Amino acid sequence: MPPITQQKELDFLVELISDDPEGVGIDALLRQLGDRWQRRTLQRRLALLVAQKRLQMHGEGRAVRYRRAAAPGGSASLPAQPATPLHASTEARFPISAEGEAIRAYVVQPRQLRGPVGYRLEFLEAYHPNHTAYLPQGLREQLHALGRSPAQQTPAGTFARDILNRLLIDLSWASSHLEGNTYSRLDTERLIEYGQAAAGKDAFETQMILNHKQAIEYLVLNPEHTRVDTGTLIALHAFLSDGLMADPAAVGRIRRRAVEIGGSVYLPIALPQRLEELFGIVVQMAAEIADPFEQAFFLMVHLPYLQPFEDVNKRVSRLAANIPFIRHNLCPLSFIDVPQQAYVNAMIGVYELNRIELLRDLFVWAYERSCQQYVAVRQTLVLPDLFRLRHRQALAEVVAAIVRQDEAATEHAIRDKIPATVPQAEQDHFIRLVLAEFDALHAGNAVRFGIRPLELAAWQSHHRREA
């Protein structure tokens, strides 16, 4: 329960605003209040009054105006709730706008206080690519300045490939963490780099991390995949959901049954034909958006809202949001440090209220964090060997075969074992790569090739390569 003094302040604000039938903006209120409150304090008080349904908020950004709410029976977009401080929760570690705070105050209510809602086509129809903007022009310019990379004038995907090793770990871990995965970042690094599953973790969590790795590589290593189209998004779902779906046939397929959203009263569309049609429309609209940041955010909003797949929709949207960043050589969005509950609250705001402000606050903050991670450190990273990445499976097979067959690591032995996946023109380069791996092979890194310590020790006793 707020202190009595705060309650009096809220009552005073309602009376002040009720005098103006056209509504009052924050700047006008600050002028009337003089030095009584700071802007941030006023924003919090207004957000709380909106959440309590004592005020109505209209407009966006600096054009927001507040009016006294209609009597019961009027608009019910943000029903009343008990007057609790908006900052009582500790899950939010990012700046939240007044609009975002009003959304959060609504979605943290118990489910029984929030009425069931279905898919609203008007939410999608209200958006017109390159005319409607969820991200205002000034904000997009700010994000472009943050995300601009030294690789801007190079071929599409160069920046993401330059930081691929780091991105694989960060995005796989952070996106999985948002789904409740308990792998630590260090555990994720060991799994991705060395194939070591973390002790005490179930196979489901391990599979989720590895699925992210494959999906990210699918986007980054193949420039033709960095397009917003139905084929790419369905492929992302196939990678991300592999081995995780109750029905294996649902992998990489538009859903054919009704689903519910945990923790939300939102009920997505159930009719498969309608769902497939709307999926095509959402993807086409996203593809038409010219600005990469607006395109990324649109995908983060409307893919989960539609719920085109039986599961893994948010994961698909997070990786799909990176397509325009990869394509335009902008800093990717890794979701590092994004609080899980804050992300859930922001998505529920989209599902139940069709309001994007809280998710937008989170998106902007998360992108700034990603830029801090990558743009400033790019020059210090060792660039990945793309040839090695492309032939990593063949490399592992050849190294393991030579060790297990107790053969010397010679050019002849390697050439005899090169699989058909390595083109003839690249075989000499491949042989040099295998020889270099044997030069550096030891008990600590042999696990990358599935070689057990005893197997390596036996081979080394006969064929140790001299440095």
Give CA separation, 296 vs 74, 135, 228, 383, in Å.
Answer: 35, 10, 10, 26
Structure tokens at 40: 């941030």
pLDDT at 62: 62
pLDDT at 16: 79
Mean pLDDT confidence for 247-273: 94
Residue located via tokens 């994720």: 188
Lowest model confidence (mean pLDDT) among 94-108, 266-280, 452-466? 452-466
Torsion, CA 409, CA 415, CA 418, CA 422, rounded to 10: 120
pLDDT at 50: 77
Task: Indicate the pLDDT class of residue 85, thresholds 50, 70 and 90.
Answer: very low
The pLDDT tens digits of the residues spanning 251-260 come to 999 999 999 9
Mean pLDDT confidence for 246-272: 93
Give CA separation, 97 vs 100, 120, 221, 260, 360, in Å.
Answer: 5, 25, 37, 29, 9
* 87 vs 58, higher pLDDT: 58
pLDDT at 70: 63
Mean pLDDT of the chain: 85
Phi-psi region of 283 (alpha: psi -120 to 50; beta: other; left: phi over 0): alpha
Residue type, 346: A
